[in-house]
A and B are shown apart, each in its own frame.
Chain A
Amino acid sequence: MTDLLSELLASRDWLLGDGATGTTLFNMGLEAGEAPEIWNETHPDRIRALYDGAINAGSDIFLTNSFGGNYSRLKLHDRQNDVFTLNRIAAEIGREAADASGRKVVVAGSVGPTGEIMEPVGELSFDSAVEIFEEQAKGLMEGGADVLWLETISAPEEYTAAAKAFQNVGAPWVGTMSFDTAGRTMMGVTAVDMVAMVEGIENKPIAFGANCGVGASDLLRTLVGFNKANPSIPVVSKGNAGIPKYVHGHIHYDGTPELMAEYALLARDAGAKIIGGCCGTLPEHLVAMRAALESTPQGDRPDLDTIRTTLGAFSSDSDGLDGATPPKRKNRRRSS
């Protein structure tokens, strides 16, 4: 069984992902507080326009409007009984858009975090998490998604629960985590930790990587970190278009199309095979990224200095991989 994504990865040196879903939908009039997934039902034309924006900008892969489409997130809007339907429609609209594009475009069913903290620290059990992800996965696959796309995950338990759910459904998948806390995920996972976790999963993803997080510089540092562990599967890089800034009462992302083009080239040089954007990344950014990737030959692996000079400073001195982090305190109970 070969899925479209694996086929494209085998025949191409790099693939262009898509950009921001949330930013684009807000520009189309989504009210803050509304669940974007409800628009699959109420404004399918706008969701189609979102997908077409990525396709027309040259994306090889786009994500469906289903990031928060799981039981525990939809419950906040009292729509927890519509998980299957909202996800199915998200993928159906995507299937139509991809089929109408006249080229091979991957419909990736977006699956975001549950928003709950998992056991033993939190209350969500592994089995419940699997159940939550499985319900969403079924809807997306029924609607015609080519692959499932897990993103913005912080906890290793949640990543592996999703892997189990996708295995139960028999869906090929990709999974990325968000490294937003001193170069690690919120739960303390380093880039090297993630590679070890992914390599140990029975139902391995087609590709793994990083999305969202702090800025383009930090994301590239994470890619450099992945390389330290020599991953055996392709790497995904989906960084935000800079960092949101509050200027004169308005907010905008400071990443220009030119900066995102530089980011795309460096991401490829750093080993990423699937390169896209995340928050703040609009079609104009994607066009610039594609043009740069097509017109520039692949370069050498960048070091951290090159990344810093080209894209700006990192958000933290250490990413937990340079040996500079002091160790945890020793407990006398254990050391005695």
Chain B
Amino acid sequence: MSDEEDDLILSELNDEELVLQMMDDLYDGMKAEIEESVNILLERKWTPYDILTKALVEGMAIVGVDFRDGILFVPEVLLAAGAMKGGMVILKPLLIETGAPRLGKMVIGTVKGDIHDIGKNLVGMMMEGAGFEIYDLGINNSLEDYIGALEAEDADILGMSALLTTTMPYMKVVIDTLIEQGKRDKYIVLVGGAPLNEEFGKAIGADAYCRDAAVAVETAKEFMARKHNQLSA
């Protein structure tokens, strides 16, 4: 950082200021600064879980809101997610060590017959950026691929993506099979892709249609919170 305006010393900020600064740094995709701040908070005896939820996830939520509102676009969001990931690399082993509750795990992939993966990749990166674990099945997935991975990975969320009008009906086949096998209620099913809409999501029995990657993250958080509430009720 050679800019004069940039000679802000992160370690001299108090906790509150530092967290606000981290949100700004996430917004601007500044990975090195995020890593430094995470380490400072760890030194100050913050728990890994608090750093994740109170600083990083909150900061990414702001990015998500501005993406949804058409203020930020994919390049900025990916830079922010990259900065977040820098912090997560430090936190992840510590989160496991401390037995912190996990935010959720998602199995994601494009449906059988669909080779268009850019939207799916964006959702995966944004979800990771928001602190979720992602198991990426790639393109062209059969119902066996999806259901097998959900069980093997002990996942919470199934994310299916399709760009073609000819492939999107396959989502219903997967959901119908989950129902037949009595597993539908175990998973939150989110669907997305350019030709889909809310009506379609409802018609095939998904929990939600997600218009874009930011909405996917918000929706996943909402459903995970409901799931936790149900469990503790």
Contact = CB atoms under 8 A, between A and B. Distances in A.
- Are chains A and B native binding partners rather than an unrelated pairing? yes
Interface of A is mostly: loop
B8 interface: yes
Interface residues of A, number: 43
B73 A187 contact: yes
Contacts of A1: none
A32 B197 contact: no
A205 to B, nearest CB: 23
B115 A326 contact: no
A256 interface: no
Contacts of A188: 72-76
Contact of B114 (A33, A244, A333, A334): A33
Interface string B53-86: 0000000001000100111111110110010000
A121 B75 contact: yes
Contacts of A121: 74-75, 78-79, 82
B199 interface: yes
Interface string B112-131: 11111110010000000000
B205 interface: no
A200 interface: no
Contact of B24 (A154, A251, A316, A331): A331
B148 interface: no
A26 B167 CA distance: 11
A251 B168 contact: yes
Contact of B27 (A73, A77, A249, A329): A329
B135 interface: no
Contacts of A117: 74, 78, 118, 121
B139 interface: yes
Contacts of A249: 169
Contacts of A31: 113
A333 B5 CA distance: 7
B161 interface: no
Contacts of A77: 115
Given A33-B113, A35-B115, A327-B71, A251 B165 contact: yes
B24 A318 contact: no
Contact of A76 (B74, B139, B167): B139
A322 to B, nearest CB: 12
B25 interface: yes
B140 interface: yes
A253 B164 CA distance: 12
A336 B5 contact: yes
B70 A325 contact: yes
A35 B72 CA distance: 33
Interface in A280-323: 316, 318, 320
B195 interface: yes
Contacts of B168: 246, 251
A246 to B, nearest CB: 4
Contacts of A186: 73-74, 118
Contacts of B5: 333-336
Interface stretch (A40-48, A166-174, A176-184, A265-273): A176-184
Interface in B22-54: 24-25, 27-28
Interface of B: 5-6, 8, 20-21, 24-25, 27-28, 62, 66, 69-76, 78-79, 82, 112-118, 121, 139-140, 164-170, 194-195, 197, 199-200, 203, 212
27 contacts: A32-B113, A32-B164, A32-B166, A33-B114, A73-B115, A76-B139, A76-B140, A117-B78, A121-B79, A122-B78, A181-B74, A181-B212, A184-B70, A187-B73, A187-B75, A244-B165, A246-B199, A251-B166, A251-B168, A253-B165, A326-B71, A331-B28, A332-B21, A333-B28, A334-B5, A334-B6, A336-B5
CB-based closest 4 A-B pairs? A32-B113, A188-B73, A33-B113, A182-B70
Interface of A: 22, 26, 31-33, 35, 68, 73, 76-77, 115, 117, 120-122, 154-155, 180-182, 184, 186-188, 244, 246, 249, 251, 253, 316, 318, 320, 325-329, 331-336
